[in-house]
Amino acid sequence: MEKTAVKLVLTLAVVALLGLAASGAFDRAGFEYTERSFKRALVTFAVARGLNAVISVAQGTEIAVEPAGVGVNFTPGQVLDPINDLVEQFSWVMLASATALGLQRLLLELFASAGFTWLLAAAWLLALALLWLPRLAPGVGAWLLRLGLLLLVLRFVVPLLALTGELFYSGFLHERYAASTERIEQVAGSIREINEGAERDAPAAEADPSLLDRVRRAYQSAVAAADVGSYLERYQQAAADVSEQVINLIVVFLVQTVLLPLLFLWGLVRGIGWLWRLPPARRAEPAVQGDDPGPGCQS
């Protein structure tokens, strides 16, 4: 009676999961969450490339001054060299994250396809038939149950990963992501304004300047010399802000696209190994004479 109850519960659970697979409701949620993460990664990648562009402009902007009549060129944007390397690495992280999410979307399409769903249904139809009628193919039912469980895990693991990743992002990472992205965009705008100011302060070279032009250039050079320290300080502040926010975003996407998938993969491998190590079901052996004295025997 107990074995019959277990079989009935397993059959009802499998039928419910097959109905969920056929409806595609779980898959649609997985697609929606994966698309959100994918678009988020692309937007952040664009932000990183935009920041890299304004930093490159800053590194190429020179301020010319002529102390004591000697021409000297300053490039205050060179203080952004270390942060530029970090932003380059951040761009690669975002590209890898977007690629991982694209692969996740591809796996969703594969395991949610009609062909895979029909394969899953056929495997479980045979497995349940042999579960209730084991005499049809003795010894085969246990292997079919393992195969059916494996296909069932593959069918739902990617949507479950997408759902878990989105829930984790909404609960723990959303505020960090929004604040860091907004701050990076603000810093990029600040660096752009600094670049424009530095370009305005750079005196234009003239082939044959007049006396008035030389006086004007000397004044511009004096102003530029006074502003060099200000530019350096502002660039350094921007670099400090960018470093913290970039590291925050790297953490967000590494957790969502690397750490969580690795945990799911580890659990999947352990689960598959556990399934295949299960011993096959054994048929009940007849009682050996003498083992059970029976109700009529007395000791």
* Per-residue model confidence (pLDDT) at position 220: 52
Distance, in Å, from the CA atom of 93 to the CA atom of 45, rounded to the nearest integer, reads 9
Q: Domain spans of the chain?
A: 2-277
* Per-residue model confidence (pLDDT) at position 119: 93
Span of 43-52, 97-106, 144-153, 218-227 with lowest mean pLDDT: 218-227
* Per-residue model confidence (pLDDT) at position 195: 77
| Structure confidence at residue 31 as a pLDDT band (50, 70, 90) | very high
* Per-residue model confidence (pLDDT) at position 68: 41
| Structure confidence at residue 118 as a pLDDT band (50, 70, 90) | very high
* Per-residue model confidence (pLDDT) at position 145: 86
280 has pLDDT over 60: no
pLDDT in tens, 173-215: 899 999 999 888 888 888 888 777 766 655 444 444 554 554 4
Query: Rounded mean pLDDT of the chain?
Result: 78
Average of pLDDT values for 250-271? 86
pLDDT in tens, 128-183: 888 888 777 777 777 888 888 889 988 998 899 999 988 899 988 899 999 999 88
- Whole-structure pTM value: 0.71
299 has pLDDT over 50: no
